[in-house]
Structure 1
Amino acid sequence: MLFRLASLFAALATLWLLGAHADDPPPVLMVMDYQIGANHMPQPVPMKLGEFTLSEALPGADKLRILPGDAFPAEAARPSDRAVELYQSTTQARSLVCIVHVRYFRSPAGQWAANFQLVEQPLVARDANGNWKPFSEIRGAPGLIVLTGSALPNAEGFYPSLEFGMNLKKVYVNSWAVR
């Protein structure tokens, strides 16, 4: 509880330093860039706690890039860490694709810039030989995530951007939750 209050206070102080007003839209935490063939379809994710769904369904993406959103000035307090849960939704249920952990680090320009860490929680089971195997697509679970970007992580394991796809199928992310 104390951590949540401190996090809320830090976020409010940051917004106050930025000169934000009540009617201003929240800053962008990250941008999900869907790559479908040669087309890119960016989807901003606001720095607002809660669950969100795309207004229109997108076809499966070959790759999904996670790019930084708005940077914060050097004078501002370091923004709080966030976790963004990415979901593949259907009309009946939704399944977790992955979690993107967002942490702010100083950019070369001195601003606070978002960096990302991919947290994959694959669904696995033992096969007939006792080896761990991911659930197949037939069982309704997404496949394993394959990082395809060329960015290198910092010392804490956070990347300036992420690019990934699935090993068995296209990436379907049509809802997310910011925590």
Structure 2
Amino acid sequence: MKLTPLDIRQKRFEAALRGFSKREVEAFLELIAGEFEEVVKENIGLKEELKRTQLRLEQHLERERTLQETMVTAQRISEDMKAAAKKEAEIILADAEHQAEKIVHGAHQRLVQVVEDINELKRQRTQFESQVRSVVDAHQKLLETFSGRTFADKDYARVEDNVAYLTQKKAQSGE
């Protein structure tokens, strides 16, 4: 049973012979009721303050949970961003390696083509030198043919001999 200040004020005692002084008992009861009223008011105030404090505590706990969730989410996002950045870096690196391979392959193809072109030019040079030698040899033989006594030279010599013979005969007959 809860006792209120009003209960204390309304409490009445039976009168007994040689009992306590009614006025003193009522004054003491009034004093106790006043004190008890103060205690009850203080208790109510403390309970209200406790409720407010508990409400603030719940709000702080809720904020703390929210902050923890936010931190966990931020950490997860950070890890996801790191993973995405790492994956993107790997993709960029793979693409760069692929581009480098293409460049090296292209340079190798170009080198092979240049070597083939050089070999073709060497072959053409050798062929040209051979053709020039053939032409030079043919002209050399032609020159050699012209420098020796030719059939025409021999015929001309015979014609000269004949002309000299005829001139001499004419000179002898007309002399």
TM-score of the aligned structures, taking structure 1 as reference length: 0.17
- The structure with the greater share of residues assigned to helix is 2
Larger Rg belongs to: 2
Higher strand proportion (structure 1 or 2) = 1
* TM-score, reference length from structure 2: 0.17
Q: Which has the higher contact order (CA 8 A, sep 6+)?
A: 1
